[in-house]
Structure 1
Amino acid sequence: MNKSQKLTKLIFLAMMVAIGVVISPILRVEGMCPMAHFINVTCAVMLGPWYAFICALAIGIIRMAFMGIPPLALTGAIFGAFFSGMLYRLSKGKLICAFLGEVIGTGIIGAIVSYPVMTLFWGKTGLTWFFYVPSFIAGTLIGGSIAFIFLKQLQKAKLLSKFQTALGSNVYEGSDVVTNDAIGIACLGFIGYLATVVIVNNFVANPTGFVSIIKYIVFAVFIIAAVVFWFVKKPKKESKESYV
């Protein structure tokens, strides 16, 4: 990595920290901050695990200092950022692995670590070891899916590798397959499920009949779409001709 790439990398890191601080309040409730996970996965792919960790750490500290956010700003970001970058690197550039690293790092590890942190340092009572797991996983699925789609479009436009080269990061060509896209479509089903739940709960007083099961229908549609996509797009094996 030359000096120009190092400077570009630091500038990009500063930009991602600034963007993360600004967009983090979007869709945020305590225990769920989807846009933070979008930043985590994007940084992990663009910059690598350690820079992603530093980005998440800086955003968390700024949010705690100036926005009054509890330590969840750190426990709900730094582990996912690092694991996202590590799994992306270990998988030789599979975007779905960056997404899964965020889910595992934040949705499971970060959520469990949040229990003692919030209990001992923030004085929260009535918590359990798995109290934050559902909301953390929901947040990672939403933000991670948005990042996956965003990065996938950059990849298809041949821009992702150009950005990584300019930043002096590892570049992986042709590592994603149709299966990864199908998994991404299936993950979008969970976002549709959550959105349907929110809409129904806010606009329908007593959901019954079709309205009560529409969330499952939305989720099933995405799963079916993912399966159909995989069967249609998967590479066809060339048939071998036998000679007698």
Structure 2
Amino acid sequence: MKPTVRLTFMALLTAIGTLGSSFLWFPAGVAKAYPVQHAINVISAVLLGPGAAITIAFMIGLVRNMLGLGTILAFPGSMVGAWLAGYLYRKTRRASGAAIGEVIGTGIIGSLLSVPIAVLLLGKHLGIFAFIPPFLISSLTGAILALILLPLLKRTPLGKYYKK
């Protein structure tokens, strides 16, 4: 993929993730579920790799926070999930591997990393497992959405970058 095309695609996924998160969310326990963010993590991990997926996840979290649409908790979950999705996709060469990486990375690891951030920066004193259910729900719905969208992307010009 040419660098200009890659950067443009990364910007497009960042915009879709930011806009999608503002329109498609639902309450899930102590947090909000943003499945579009997690779908973008899986899609970017499959099509662009772990480094680009982390960058896109960071940019979506940054823009959402700048617009007042998210919290600081957007960073640990989405970035760990994006990395693990890209890593597992590289190891398995299967979109399902990326989806599993997103769910484990965000739903479990990212939720546990969010606990000290919630205590130190947000002043929320919650149990260590308070974030796991909402993060799991959010990442699972996003991963399923990505598994539905990825085969459709194969039919577009971007499909040549998708190697199953």
Q: Of 166, 169, 172, which aligns to 2:163? A: 172
Query: Which residue does 2:59 correspond to in 1?
Result: 58
Unaligned runs of 5+ in 1: 165-170, 174-244
d(CA) in 1 for partners of 2:7, 2:152: 24
Name the residue aligned to 2:132.
Answer: 133
Compared CA separation, residues 28 and 74, structure 1 to 2 (3 A):
farther
* Residue 73 of structure 1: how far off its partner (Å): 1.4
The aligned counterpart of 1:41 is 42
Question: How do residues 86-97 of structure 1 correspond to structure 2 at under 5 angstroms?
Answer: 86-91=87-92, 93-97=93-97
Partners in 2 of 1:145 and 1:76 — Cα distance?
17
| Higher relative contact order structure (alpha carbons within 8 Å, sequence separation ≥ 6) | 2
- Structure 2 gap segments, 5+ residues each: none
Contact kept? 1:31, 1:72, Cα under 8 Å: no
Q: Deviations over 1:60-80 (max 9, x none)?
A: 011112215221111231110
Tell me how far apart the structure 1 counterparts of residues 131 and 113 of structure 2 sit (CA, whole Å).
9
1:196 paired residue number: none
Q: How does 1:109-120 map to 2 (within 5 A)?
A: 109-120=109-120
Alignment match, 1:27? 25
Shift of 1:152: 2.7
Q: Is the 8 A contact 1:96 1:148 kept in 2?
A: yes
Task: Give, in whole Å, the separation in 2 of the partners of 1:28 and 1:80.
Answer: 19
- Look up the equivalent residue of 1:18 and give its one-letter code: A
Aligned length: 160
**Contact 1:70/1:122 (8 A) holds in 2:** no
TM-score (norm 1): 0.62
Provide TM-score, normalisation by structure 2.
Answer: 0.90
| 1:122 shift after superposition | 1.1
- 3-state DSSP class of the match of 1:35? helix
Q: Distance in 1 between matches of 2:60 and 2:156?
A: 29
Give, in angstroms, the shift of residue 28 of structure 1: 3.6
Report SS of the residue matched to 1:123: coil
Q: Point out 4+ residue stretches in structure 1 off by more than 6 angstroms.
A: none
Aligned to 1:153: 152
| Displacement after TM superposition at 1:161 (Å) | 4.2
| Distance in 2, Cα, partners of 1:40 & 1:68 | 18
Give yes or no for the alignment of 1:123 onto 2:123. yes
Distance in 2, matches of 1:61 and 1:154, equals: 26
TM-superposition CA deviations, 1:134-191 (whole Å, max 9, x none): 1111111111101001113344x486641x1xxxxxx535xxxxxxxxxxxxxxxxxx
State the one-letter code of the partner of 1:142: T
Which amino acid is the alignment partner of residue 117 of structure 2? V
Structure 1 CA distance for aligned equivalents of residues 46 and 158 of structure 2: 9
- Alpha-carbon distance between aligned partners in 1 of 2:26 and 2:60, rounded to the nearest angstrom: 15
- Whether the aligned pair in 1 keeps the contact of 2:33 and 2:134 (CA below 8 Å) is yes
Residue 71 of structure 1: SS of its match in structure 2?
coil
Residue 138 and residue 68 in structure 1: after superposition, are their counterparts in 2 closer, same or farther (change >3 A)?
closer
CA shift in 2, pair 1:58/1:158, >3 Å: closer
